[in-house]
Chain A
Amino acid sequence: MRRIMVIATNTFREAVRDRVLYNLVVFAVVMIGASLLVGRASIGIERLALVNLGLTSISLFGILISIFLGIGLVYKEMDKRTLYTVLAARPVRRWEFITGKWAGLVMTLVVNAAMMSVALFAGLLYVSGKLTSADWGVVAAIYLILLQYVLMTSLALLFSTFSTPLMSSLFAFSLFVIGSYAGDLRRFANLASGFTRVVAYGMSYAVPNFAALNMILPAAHAVPISTKLVLLDSVYVFVYAGVCLSASILIFERRNLK
């Protein structure tokens, strides 16, 4: 257990010292600033524009960061052989290594989300003068976005155990796009028949359900987000991450490391 924490902390430290990360975060903050200007242009929808654009930026940039960090996770270690000394002469099991990496990444993403939220809430304060109960919706939406990050990064980790960075990022991003339309995929499955129906149903369950984690519009329109939904989403992501993690461990365990 302690070893997992050590690896996690090191992963966190590595991510934080990576300059690309900062660029992306700064960019997101800039976007939030820009959305304030957009709000200015149209009277009455300042808060709406801010929350819409702000949450969309946090979501998109965060997903990019998640992918970027996730695919590097195992691939970089193997390519640069930094992991040799960790696995060869330390009492660290391969599964502990993967789990530690994953945990460190999640920590990084939580900090990212926090930083970007601070910027968003600063904007909200500026626009509305005070924080209202409607803003809880924004908090819930950000939490769900964080869950999106965890989902994305778990997938990226899985891909990085067997694929090159380029392919991994393509797979990961594709799954994000498809997953955003998971509901429609299921609807399509309902309408189809025969073999197509089976395949479509299968895909709609296999694909990560990003659609269920997107509450940007309700948050922007101050529509309350149900607690039950948040709970279900949390369990879903936890379990899906479990799929990715156990698959990663399985692959990594028997892999011959060059």
Chain B
Amino acid sequence: MDLIHNLSVGFGVAFTFTNLLYCLIGCILGTLIGVLPGIGPVATIAMLLPATYALPPVSALIMLAGIYYGAQYGGSTTAILVNLPGESSSVVTVIDGHQMAKRGRAGPALAAAGLGSFFAGCVGTLILAGFAPPLTELAFKFGPAEYFSLMILGLIGAVVLASGSLLKAVAMIVLGLLLGLVGTDVNSGVARFSFDIPELTDGIGFVAIAMGVFGYGEIIANLAQPEEEREVFTAKVTGLFPTKEDFKNMVPAVLRGTALGSSLGILPGGGALLAAFAAYTIEKKTKLKPGEIPFGKGNIRGVAAPESANNAGAQTSFIPLLTLGIPPNAVMALMVGAMTIHNIQPGPQVMTSNPELFWGLIASMWIGNAMLVILNLPLIGMWIKLLSVPYRFLFPSIVLFCAIGVYSTNNNTFDIWMVGAFGFIGYLFYKLGCEPAPLLLGFILGPMMEENLRRALLLSRGDWSVFVTRPISMGLLAAAVLLLVIVLLPAVKSKREEAFVEE
């Protein structure tokens, strides 16, 4: 069978000493930033991008992927023990997880999160391995018109599923697209919006935007909030293993969470965060068994389902990236950046031109998930200690790593000025209630969209109807319109707002 052959190639790549090492480093870093509140995978991956120059591309991607799904594990630890989501995707885990910890059941809660995540991660990876080849076939049928429509669908999807104001998110995407156009136009050679600054003719540095907005912007916003005493759960975590009763409740929740997370991860704009929200909502809707603890009071299903869902979503969100070359969320946008650094054009050709990279990455996710269970369950004491590191030591370190990281991308101080400017802009966005993630997506897609639009219209001699006369393109655009209409329906609109208010 093809799949088995491909996977054995992948495991051959992933099981080399170097790649195992980078997988482990990625998982440890991911857990670390997952545990520490105030720093997320976007900022971390942005910081490490420059450092991956020196690595072979496979190892670099394996490490960066490990950071993303590792953060999903680590985030739940903080959520359960400190009542603070370490990652945004663990927001709902806080509700029941911390209640369980308060009742002395921190151990089973952590185990439910860890085991659920592991199962979901394995299933998600399997889906990724199974779905990628057929989707790639489809992608080869795409012309520029289809790609343009697909990007529209992706961006609309990202907006619809994001929290907060719809209009602002669309505006942020357009702003991102525009920022992506800064620099030399590939067709005419004209330097656009560069104000005669030589550094800007290469475009705005992706790393500078990501670090400025997600690193500096968030640090300023965090520090500006009045300091509150963190309630650290210092009691020793005992009795890690869930009871038989727990298992009975957990298993169906894990299965539901995994199924939901895997499917939502594939959707454009989906990924870990949305999956966790949806899974918790569904668990809450199912009927409680007699004698079961209600939700919000420490129900183990309220931990198992969202944690499985966010990990499954984290894995399957690699599908659109690896098959179509379209990043579905901000972390995947950074992965595009990482691939381009290594001269790999993300898209359907990756699987044929770099099979070791493609399958090696997928195989490494299995290994990574296994490492993470070991890192997170038996070694939980180590991470608890880390929680006592105060933020006043953390934030200067983050500022430093951002500054060094951005400087080393080009060895040019100009990038340091840029990251500072975007730090201020990021804080401005925060103040005005504009979510920055869509901006990053738009920034990555800007040049690609322009190029495909240009080609599509060149082929049709300027006739815009090409987007609706080609069936696949038409279907994609119709899906985008449908998504928008659904969200704007009054009934769905109020539900959507309700769902995001729960945070």
Q: Do the two chains bind?
A: no
Interface residues of B (CB under 8 A from A): none
